Amino acid sequence: MSRSTRVLVLLFVLPATYLFIYWIPFSLLPLPDQRWIPALVALAAAIGVGRYLWKRLGAAGPTAASTVLSSGFIVGGVAFCAGFFGPMIFAPGANQGPLLGLLITGPAGFIVGLVGGFVFWRMKRRAAGRRGASGPATPT
């Protein structure tokens, strides 16, 4: 995947991960004077997710299963975050807004990611087969 595409994915996933980790688990804990703890944990989680995504989006995995599943989880996670946090941002009065992410965009994104991961893996495999059959690829 190209560098610019990976950067675009990270620009969406990093803030979504930070907000999710900051608000969901820590909204239940009483930490009035220690708001730095949720911020630090959320930042560490966002950095971890960002590093994982940067590595996984860089190249296809060695097997179809690893590529398909990782892309399913990545696209499903992004779609879930969009469906979960989008209604909170754009329609804060809608009391059932986050259910969009839980019931519709998360599972649909996972399925689309599975299909997209399989197509990506096939294209990489086919391109590698063509380069191997015609000799080494010329650098561009």
Under 8 Å CB-to-CB from 12, ≥6 apart: which residues? 78, 81, 82
Residue 116 located in a structural domain: yes
Task: Tell me what the pLDDT averaged over the chain comes to.
Answer: 82
Q: What is the pLDDT of residues 18-27, one digit of tens each?
A: 888 888 777 7
Range of the domain at 107: 60-132
Shared domain for 87 and 128, answered yes or no, is yes
The model's pTM:
0.59
Cβ atoms of 115 and 79 within 8 Å: the answer is: no
Please provide the distance, in angstroms rounded to a whole number, between the alpha carbons at the two ends of the chain. 17
Shared domain for 124 and 70, answered yes or no, is yes
Shared domain for 86 and 48, answered yes or no, is no
Residue 39 located in a structural domain: yes
**Averaged pLDDT for residues 61-76:** 82
Q: Which of 4, 11, 124, 109 is nearest to 59 (CA)?
A: 124
pLDDT of residue 139: 55
Angle at alpha carbon of residue 93, lines to 89 and 99, rounded to 5°: 70
Q: Which strand (E) or helix (H) includes residue 61?
A: none
